[in-house]
Structures are given as structure tokens and as C-alpha cells.
A and B are shown apart, each in its own frame.
Chain A
């Protein structure tokens, strides 16, 4: 509950825009403390013509104005009342009759939140995150229908998310509105954000806001970390599972004085147990250890809010054949995989607030990061280094009144990439100054229209225009329609994005210079809330289509190569999803979701002909069912999730005849499978214990590694993992909290 409140407070401080003043006008009933509403009272901004009248319940709603913050309330027979309106958006006004000369009382409630975002947004709260106790961002989507997570290969342990039928690289993933998991960080990035650090996750489907840049193509995910001024002074989480993975998280928050607070988030985890359950002589999970920490400082007073901090991460992974040791690196007898990642980051956010004009704000985000990874796959080495500097200046205000608001600003992105794979060197420097403007029209929160555009001046690829529009219309209190359309643009990093496929005998071939990827995304959704008997529920149906103007094609059709080239022809991804949520009895929640993907891509076949094929490794169908029940105050909490993943297309994996190569190599289909997760939590006043299991049905892909018996032979390929490599996983842990 407290975290929820903290989250709310946080949201209030962020959503400075789209505010209307609502309130009630009352009179005091004689000789009583009771209030009775006044209907027909005039409410207007002093010195303007913006006015409204209270309804029969004495309620009014009026947009904020730039010209005035003095709200006048008048009614015949009563003294006029003038209220200076600050950050509050709900007022209760009590008018005194003309005869009495007593002072007017004004009470104000807390600010309200614009929860009706024009974007199709799902929020995963701390409470929902605790449903899947484990471990980092990649496991945070277990109970979410829109995002799915999978291992990309059977050796490295890197994970990929998928949304709207496309991989995570097309989703802009931000940490507190700073673009974060991008570039070389996209390979293992999901493992870099421990679950206990996360306060909430916002998942936006379709084109995103232009404020955060041009890279959101199918959606955006924003992760909010635990704040230094949170209620929890100390939060300790320990975790262990049956494979021997151990984890320790410690979050500290300290309020130094009224204005300053500081927080430390730390994480350490390791797996040193060699597991080979499927007997292919390869480790099912890589051995690894990770140390990860954030220290941040926050200053807040009425006019300024500043946050700054540093992040540091060191990770060491080793996988491959069971008896591989570090010293054997480069051996052509025993296959080994290793990756060392060092990542350092500085971030700061400064905001100027205007307490008298809460719709106004000026913010500056500055972020600098160095990402350094050194890997080897058998005898092949791959080193990558990325240096990033990012700055975003945002100003928001209103035009006339809060029905019309805008955000505008300037951004700058500097990216320096340096990669070396075998004897191939890839280097580039991107320098991208940009400017954006986003206008929002809000009519009573019922109809919201957002139109935004940005221009970015890319030093390598020229000027890029990114237009995006969003529309929200609430037909009734229960029915909301949303639609969005927009362009996205990104420069791909083929080796980092197809990292898992490097664990194979395939030769990497760049057929041409890879151009940036460009997409157009269109989508619409309906949200319908309903009541069945005394059961509340909601139904969400959405459809999105992503059309590629250019795409990085990673072609695995020929088992000898990974070919990278630009798209020639069509590529698209259609996604349809229907989700029902019901609460049959108090604290008992059920969710059922179905998702359909139709993802196709034009690839060149062996005779250089373009053919449109279903994209590999994408399940056409997926079903998710989640049931959760909690006793009051979460004394006991039960959670159960089943996912069914449909068939996926796999590339041809057989050997090639020498004389005659067929034009269309037969692809195979990976079978469908179930995934069952469950968890039980018991809460005590200061600590929680949890016990859970993942993949309880113990489903395993039989031979996740092709040609595992000859890792240096032509058939070797570990990049074709389509299902769980390890079987059932049972975990247990403890959370300890000291609340302020």
C-alpha cells in the first residue's frame, strides 16, 4: 500500500500536464456542520472570460489558464470568494452568506492524476512484480500478455523480449525516461536491471511520444527505479534456486534533511554450478557472476528538483562444453564461450518547477555511459565498445488554458561504436542533434489528441523526420478507444542483436552496407470495463501493424551463413491481442489473454530471388492465463501462470547436397509447448518469504544445440533454441524491509 502511495505521489510529480481544476461549491447549513451544495454558482478565472457554472451537485470543472491563477466563485446572496490555485486540482469551496462577515474557508484535496493516458499503456507495479519473485527485468513480464521473453540461444544465457511480433530492439527501453537498453547493451541489458530495484514498469504499445527520441518503433518500456525518498529505509532480498543460482539485493534510502535524500541500490548474483541435464555435453546455463550498483542523490524543494547518480556493472560469463575452463580460451578441442562486460554510467535530471503554474515545467536530462564487452565463441573473438552521451531539454506549458498544452525541446545524442569480430572491424560515430514539438488537445479527459514531430540531423544518415499522432476517445465511462500512428527510426547493431547466433559454425556475411531501419506503426485498441453481477472486469482488444520501409534482414535460411542485408520488398508484423481481466471475489484476480502474430519478411533465396517468408522464431499464437489470490495485507499470496506458446518456424538445419541446391530450403516447425509458473508468498510485518517454481511442467527442448557432438564441425549451431533449455526451476527467498 505504501509503495503504491509512493508511486502515486511520484506520478503526481511527473504528470504536470493536462490538469483541470475540479471542485465543489457548498454552503454551510445553519446551526450544523453539514454542507449543502450550491448549484448555478459562477466560477471564473479573475480577469478572463473563461467561466463555468456548478451543476446540481454543486460540482464544477474548469481548465487551467496561463493568464490567471485566481479563481473567483460567486453566487447571489453569498460573498464572492477568490481562491489562489496552486498545485491542487481539487477544491472544496464553502461560501458564506452575505450577512455574515466571517472569513471564507477553503479546503483542498490532494492532486488528481491523469490516469487516462492517450497511449495504450500497461503498468506493472511493485506488487505485480512480486508475483514473479525472480530476478531481473527479463523475468518481470511473466504475467504480462503483451511482452514475452525467450532465450535467444542455448549457450550464452542472453534473453530477448518480444512485443507486437518483433524483437526487443524495436522497443525503446528507458530507465526513468533515459534511453537505456540500446546499442551493444541490448544483448544482455535485460539482465542488468535487478527486479528489486524496480518500482514500476510502463509498457506502451505502438508509436511512442516523440519527446524521448526516434527509436521507439513498436513500443516503449519505461522502468522506474526505487526512489531515494521512498518509505523503505532498507530493503534486503535474498534468493536461491535449485540450480545453485544465488542472489543478494540490498536497497538503502536515507533522507538527509527535508530537501536532500540519497539512495543506494546494490545487487550481486552468481551461478557456479555446472548443469547439463539434457546430456549434450554443453552447460545448460552459463556460469556467471554479476555485481551491480547505483548510487543516486535527490534534491527537492518548491522550485527545483534535481537527481544525479552513478551506475556501475561488472559481469563475467562462461559457458560452452561441460569441462571447459577459463584457461582453455581459444582451444579448438573444447568449445568455450565467455563474456566480460563492464558498464559505467552517469545520469542527472534537473527540473525547474513553477508551483503557481503547475502545468509549466523545464527539465534537463544528461546521461553518459561506457559499455565494454569482450567475448569469445570457441576460436572466434568479439569485442565491442560503445560510448554514449545523451542530453534532452524539455519545456512544457499551455496555450491559453490547459485544454491546449505542449512539450518542446532539444536533444543531442552522441554514440561511438567500436566492434571487432574475427577479422572484421565495424566502427561508427553518430552525432545527432534534434528538436521536437508535441501538442496535446484535451477536452475534459474524454477526448485527447496528441500530435508530435521531431527532426533529427544525423551526421551519417541525414535529416530524419519523425511524425507521430495519438488519439483517445472515451465513449462512456466504461469504453475507451485509442489509436496511434507514427514513424520510427534506428541504426542497427547486427552483431550485438544476433549475438546468440554467433555460437555456431555459421559464417557472418555482410552483403552490403546496412542502412538504418525505418518503420511505420499503426494501431488501435478498445478498452471496455464491465460488471457481471457483482464482479468487475475489463476487456482489452488491440491490433497493431508495423510496416518496414527498411529492415536489417538477418538471413538464416542457408545453414552455412548468417547473412545481413537491407530489405528489398515487404516486411511487416501484424499483432492482435484480446485480454480479459476479472475479479470474481475481492482480492482474487483472473486474467486470460490470447495473442496472434502474423510476421513476414522478404529474404533472398539461393538464386537471389526475393521471397516473402514468415519470420523465424515467432509463435503465431500464444495464450496466457494468470490467477492470483491474496489475503488482506497480502498475509498470504498465491499466484499461478500458464502460458501456451504456439509453433514457430525454424530454418532448414540439414546438410546441403553438393550438386543440387534446392531453391527453397524446407523449413521445420518447432512444436508448441506450455510453461507453468507458480508462487506463494507469506508476509510478516517486517519480512516476506516466498517459494515458487518456473517451468513446472518441466518442458525442455530436446536438442537445443545442433551438432553438439561436433562443436567445431559444419553442423554446429546453438542459436536455434526455441524453448526452455533447462527444466523445472524451484526457488525460494526472503525479503526484509525497514520502513521509515
Chain B
């Protein structure tokens, strides 16, 4: 019984630890085809939930997303692949057409700026 509680507490604190170690984290900036707040939320969430990504933040003014990641777990290529598969361009690589067409009309590349 007690071991269950202890192991839960240990898991909790391990979780805390992994969250605070940021010494070897790297940063990459990628230009995307995001348009609006919805795009921002979608991209940041999908990246945030992908392997090895610590933080991501999209600047809607210049459409550049800044991604903090653990180089042991992921690569800039994998991060770009996530962006493409979410339906957006990543630097020179074009968005996955299928994913792009699934986006709401306001988030597609054809949408008027708003």
C-alpha cells in the first residue's frame, strides 16, 4: 500500500524534475503559413504534445514559430514534419495537402488575411 503512494509521489517529483532541466535544450525558429489565433493555438498544441518539445511560441506578426526542444529526443526535421502534418508550411517545405484541406476555411492559405 505505502509503496503505491510512495511511487506515485516519486513519479510526481520525477515529472517536476524533467520539467525544470533545461540546460541542454536547443531552440529553432521556423517560418510557417499560420494566419490567425486559431492556427497559433493548433500549432503550439500539436508541437507541445510531440516528443521532445519543451515549449513553442508562434509570433503571428512574422509567422515565425520558436520551438525549444531536447536534441536527444527530437530534431528540427521532426519538428518541421509535425508542422507540415498539421497543415502548414515549414520554411521551404510545403504543407501536407491532406492535412491542410482539413483545416477550417479561415486557417487555409487561401483565406484572406484577418
Residues on A lying within 8 angstroms of B by beta carbon are 1-2, 588, 627, 629, 631-633, 635-636, 638, 640, 676, 678, 680, 683-685, 693, 696-698, 728, 740
Contact = CB atoms under 8 A, between A and B. Distances in A.
Given A631-B19, A740-B104, A1 B45 contact: yes
A638 B15 contact: yes
Contact of A1 (B1, B5, B41, B49): B41
Give the interface residue-count category, chain B: 20 to 34
Q: Classify the secondary structure of A's interface with B.
A: mixed
A632 B55 contact: yes
Task: Tell me which of A627, A640, A728 has the highest count of chain B C-beta atoms within 10 A of its own C-beta.
Answer: A640
A635 B48 contact: yes
Given A631-B15, A638-B15, A678 B49 contact: no
B45 A640 contact: no
Contacts of B104: 740
5 contacts: A2-B41, A635-B49, A696-B1, A696-B5, A728-B1
Task: Tell me which of B44, B46, B48 has the highest count of chain A C-beta atoms within 10 A of its own C-beta.
Answer: B48
Contacts of A676: 5
A696 B45 CA distance: 33
A722 to B, nearest CB: 21
Contacts of B11: 638, 680
A676 B5 CA distance: 9
B4 A696 contact: yes
A169 to B, nearest CB: 35
B111 interface: no
Contacts of A627: 12
Interface string B17-30: 00100000000000
A698 B2 CA distance: 10
Given A631-B15, A638-B11, A740-B104, 17 more contacts: A1-B41, A2-B41, A627-B12, A629-B12, A629-B15, A629-B19, A632-B55, A636-B15, A638-B12, A638-B15, A640-B8, A676-B5, A680-B11, A685-B46, A685-B50, A696-B5, A728-B1
A680 B14 CA distance: 13
A734 to B, nearest CB: 16
Nearest to B51: A635
A683 B16 CA distance: 17
A638 B5 CA distance: 13
A135 B9 CA distance: 24
Contacts of B54: 632
A696 B41 CA distance: 37
4 A-B pairs with the lowest CB-CB distances in the bound complex, closest first: A633-B48, A638-B12, A678-B8, A632-B48
Nearest to B9: A640
Contacts of B9: 640
